[in-house]
Structure 1
Amino acid sequence: MRRHGWWTGAGRWRLAALLGVAATALALLVTLTRLPGDGASTAGTSRDGDKVHGTPAAPSGAAAPSVGWGFTHTQYSADAEGGAVTARVERLLAQDGGLPQDQALMGWGADNPEPVKGHYDFGAMDRRIDFVRASGGTPVVTLCCSPDWMKGGRAGAGNTDWSRAALETAPTPAHYQDFAHLAATVARRYPDVRHFIVWNEFKGFWNDAEGRWDYEGYTALYNLVYKALKKVGKDIMVGGPYLAMDSVDPRQTENASPTFRGPWGAMDQRVLDAFDYWNRHKAGADFVVVDGSSYTDDDDLLPDEFGATDKLTAVGEWVRRRTHDLPLWWAEYYVEPADAGDERKGWSEPRRLAVHAAGLIAMARGGAESGFYWNPEEKSGSCPGCLWTPTDSAQGGRELPMYGLLSRFGRAFPPGTRYAPVSVAPDDRPVVRVLATAATVLVVNTLDRPIDARVDGKRFRMGAYEVKWLDR
Structure 2
Amino acid sequence: MRRHGWSSDARRWRVAALLGVGVVAVALVLTVLTMPGKDRDGTAGPSRNGDRVHGTPADPPGRRAAEVGWGFTHTQHSADQGEDAAVGRAEKLLKGQRRPLPQIQHLMGWGAGNPEPARGRYDFADLDRRVDFVRATRGTPVLTLCCAPDWMKGGEPGAENTDWSKASLETAPEPEHYDDFAALAATVAKRYPDVRHFVVWNEMKGFWNSTERRWDYEGYTALYNKVYRALKRVDKDIMVGGPYVIMDSVRPRQGDGASEEVKGPWGSLDQGAVDAFDYWNEHKAGADFVVVDGASYTKDDELLPDEFRAADKFTAVGRWLRERTGGLPLWWAEYYVEPADDRDNRDAWPEPHRVAVHATSLIAMARGGATSGFYWNPQRRDGACAGCLWSSTHLPDGGRELPILRLLARFAEAFPPGTRYEKVSVGPGDVPNVRVLADDEAVLVVNVTDRTISAEVDGGRYDLGAYEVKWLKR
The TM-score with structure 1 as length reference comes to 0.88
Q: Is contact 1:432–1:444 with CA below 8 Å preserved after alignment? A: yes
Matched, 1:150 2:120: no
Q: Which has the higher helix share?
A: 2
- 1:308 pairs, out of 307, 310, 334, with 310
| C-alpha distance in 2 between matches for 1:87 and 1:113 | 26
- 2:384 pairs, out of 382, 385, 391, with 382
Three-state SS of the structure 1 residue aligned to 2:333 is strand
2:424 match: 422
Shift of 1:385: 0.9
2:59 match: 59
- 2:349 pairs, out of 340, 347, 353, with 347
- Where has structure 1 moved over 4 Å in runs of 4 or more? 155-158, 340-344
1:167 match: 169
Three-state SS of the structure 2 residue aligned to 1:67 is coil
Q: Is contact 1:294–1:311 with CA below 8 Å preserved after alignment? A: yes
Matched to 1:69, the amino acid is W
| C-alpha distance in 1 between matches for 2:435 and 2:342 | 24
Change (3 A) 1:235 1:460: same
| C-alpha distance in 1 between matches for 2:244 and 2:348 | 31
Matched to 1:163, the amino acid is S
Three-state SS of the structure 1 residue aligned to 2:291 is strand
Shift of 1:354: 0.3
1:406 match: 408
Q: Is contact 1:77–1:376 with CA below 8 Å preserved after alignment? A: no
Deviations 1:179-209 (A, max 9, x none): 0000000000000100000000000001111
Q: Is contact 2:292–2:331 with CA below 8 Å preserved after alignment? A: yes
Shift of 1:234: 0.8
Greater mean deviation of Cα atoms: 229-238 or 89-98: 89-98
> What count of residue pairs does the alignment treat as equivalent?
429
Three-state SS of the structure 1 residue aligned to 2:298 is coil
2:76 match: 75
| C-alpha distance in 2 between matches for 1:396 and 1:256 | 45
Q: Is contact 1:294–1:301 with CA below 8 Å preserved after alignment? A: yes
- 2:372 pairs, out of 370, 390, 402, with 370
Change (3 A) 1:260 1:423: same
Q: Is contact 1:390–1:396 with CA below 8 Å preserved after alignment? A: yes
Matched, 1:433 2:435: yes
For the pair shown, the structure with the greater C-alpha radius of gyration is 2
Shift of 1:325: 2.5
| C-alpha distance in 2 between matches for 1:404 and 1:157 | 39
Cα root mean square deviation, aligned:
1.8
| C-alpha distance in 1 between matches for 2:350 and 2:291 | 31
Shift of 1:260: 2.0
| C-alpha distance in 2 between matches for 1:344 and 1:154 | 36
2:451 match: 449
Shift of 1:57: 6.1
In structure 1, stretches of 5+ residues that fail to align are: 1-29, 31-42
Matched to 1:93, the amino acid is L
Q: Is contact 1:45–1:120 with CA below 8 Å preserved after alignment? A: no
Three-state SS of the structure 2 residue aligned to 1:302 is coil
| C-alpha distance in 1 between matches for 2:343 and 2:74 | 24
Shift of 1:464: 0.5
Shift of 1:375: 1.5
1:40 match: none
Matched to 1:198, the amino acid is V
2:32 match: none
Shift of 1:256: 1.3
Shift of 1:45: 5.7
Q: Is contact 1:46–1:118 with CA below 8 Å preserved after alignment? A: yes
Shift of 1:350: 1.0
Shift of 1:346: 4.1
